[in-house]
Amino acid sequence: METVLSGIRSTGHLHLGNYFGALRNYIKMQDEYNCFFFIADLHSLTTHPHPADFHAGVKTILCEYLASGLDPQKSAIFVQSDVPEVSELYVLLNMIAYKGELERTASFKEKVRKQEDNVNAGLLTYPVLMAADILIHRAHKVPVGKDQEQHLEMARVLARRFNNMYGTDVFPEPQAFNFGSDLVKVPGLDGSGKMGKSEGNGVYLIDDEKTIHKKVMKAVTDSGPTEPNSKMPDSIENIFTLLKIVSTPDTVAHFTEAYNNCSIRYGDLKKQLAADICKHTLPIRERIEEIYNDEAYLHNVAKRGRELARESASATLREVRAVVGFKSF
């Protein structure tokens, strides 16, 4: 069985984009692959979070992952810093990662521009740590968004370089997981691009009914079509895309027809959209709260995840250490 691995940074909350774009696919993948899902808390340290916020961030994502349907009986769900083998592989990979290639990655250049007062070495070697995450479990497939493709390429480069340098095939080259027609692109509510954490255009799984209604009612629209069957501007098209994701085909057909014959009232459309989003997210929100308060359950999930991940990681590291030439006296 092939191994799939995915990591998420431990900052913020999961939004509809995460849920419909990735998590719903992960839930299905759990039956077909050997899955590793982890929370990349070491990566989050590049921004120097306060220790109290740091743990809260990890707990939040863990609860939201579990409430969304990731199943600790099927997958290894774990916290990156619980697996010290990753940090050791990171050190070893740093020896074959070159400063020039790291400086050229788009994400590093962007950080240099955005946070010039904190350009730490962890930011520079961010892709090396990510490669260690992937290679330590010898993952074959990694589902990544556009913004992470270059990092995945770096993982392939480092795997290849390591294998060539030591004449081994210890690391398979990880490929992007292609969702194909299952890929759902979830737009934001601001009429621009996709829903994102930093864009402030998202609906979160933890949002309550009132918040969801408020956000949806504020979504960008225009004054409405004046000609029958006219082309939708991006902002309206985005609302219809969201409707297609959360509503029934009948509902979508109803509002499409209303748009096409110019009788549409955006207020009604948004009310329906908000109600249908709530249908999906409110049960998850309840689960999040339950799990958040169940310390014993969280303890057991993290323990089992840690055990599975360390078993896989230590087997790889044992081989890697031998290949590099470590020998005990």
Q: In the bound complex, what is the minimum distance in angstroms from residue 82's beta carbon to ligand TRP?
A: 14
Best CA proximity match to 189, nearest among 222, 238, 231, 251: 238
3-state secondary structure 191-244: CCCECCCCCCCCCECCCCHHHHHHHHHCCCCCCCCCCCCCCCCHHHHHHHHHHH
Q: How far is the CB of 223 from ligand TRP (least distance, A)?
A: 38
Q: Which is nearer to ligand TRP, 80 or 272 (CB)?
A: 80
| The binder of ligand TRP chosen from 3, 4, 6, 72 (CB under 6 A) | 6
Which position has the token pair 């409405």?
224
Q: What value, to the nearest 5°, has the Cα angle with vertex 36 and ends 30 and 39?
A: 120
Q: 59, 111, 141, 270: which is the annotated catalytic residue? A: 111
Burial (Cβ within 10 Å: 0-12, 13-18, ≥19) of residue 114: exposed
Q: Which of 16, 77, 123, 142 binds ligand TRP (CB under 6 A)?
A: 142
- Calpha distance 271→36 (Å, rounded): 38
5 touches 131 (CB < 8 A)? no
Q: Which one among 7, 188, 191, 225 touches ligand TRP, defined by CB under 6 A?
A: 7
Residue among 13, 40, 45 nearest 144 (CA): 40
Contact 305, 80 (CB under 8 A): no
Give the footprint of ligand TRP on residues 225-244 (CB under 6 A): none
Residue 1: CB minimum distance to ligand TRP, A: 19
Quick check: 264 binds ligand TRP (CB under 6 A)?
A: no
Using the rule CB under 6 A, which residue among 29, 35, 39, 40 binds ligand TRP?
A: 40
> Which residue's CB is nearer to ligand TRP, number 135 or number 205?
135
Give 94 or 260: the residue with its C-beta nearer to ligand TRP: 94
The answer to whether residue 133 forms part of the interface with ligand TRP (CB under 6 A) is yes
Q: Which stretch binds ligand TRP (CB under 6 A): 112-120, 141-149, 222-230, 309-317?
A: 141-149
Give residues 146-165 in contact with ligand TRP (rule: CB under 6 A). 148, 151
**Stretch of residues binding ligand TRP (CB under 6 A), selected from 130-138, 213-221, 227-235, 310-318:** 130-138
266 Cβ contact partners less than 8 Å away, ≥ 6 residues apart: 221, 224, 239
Which residue's CB is nearer to ligand TRP, number 6 or number 281?
6
Q: Which of 15, 24, 43, 111 binds ligand TRP (CB under 6 A)?
A: 43
Minimum CB distance to ligand TRP smaller for 130 or for 264: 130
Q: How far apart are CA 186 and CA 20, in angstroms?
A: 7
Would you call 111 a catalytic residue per the annotation? yes
Give the neighbor-by-neighbor strand order of the sheet with 175-176. Answer: 76-79, 34-40, 3-9, 141-142, 175-176
Query: Closest by alpha carbon to 195, among 18, 4, 6, 70?
Result: 18
202 binds ligand TRP, rule: CB under 6 A? no
Nearest to 13 by CA among 202, 209, 292, 273: 202
Q: Which tokens in the block code for residue 317?
A: 């590291």
Binding residue (CB under 6 A) for ligand TRP from 70, 89, 102, 130: 130
SS3 178: coil
Which entry of 99, 141, 185, 194 is annotated as an active-site residue?
A: 194
**Residues classed as catalytic:** 111, 194, 197
Please give the residue ranges that form the binding site for ligand TRP (CB under 6 A). Answer: 5-9, 40, 43, 130, 133-134, 142, 144, 148, 151
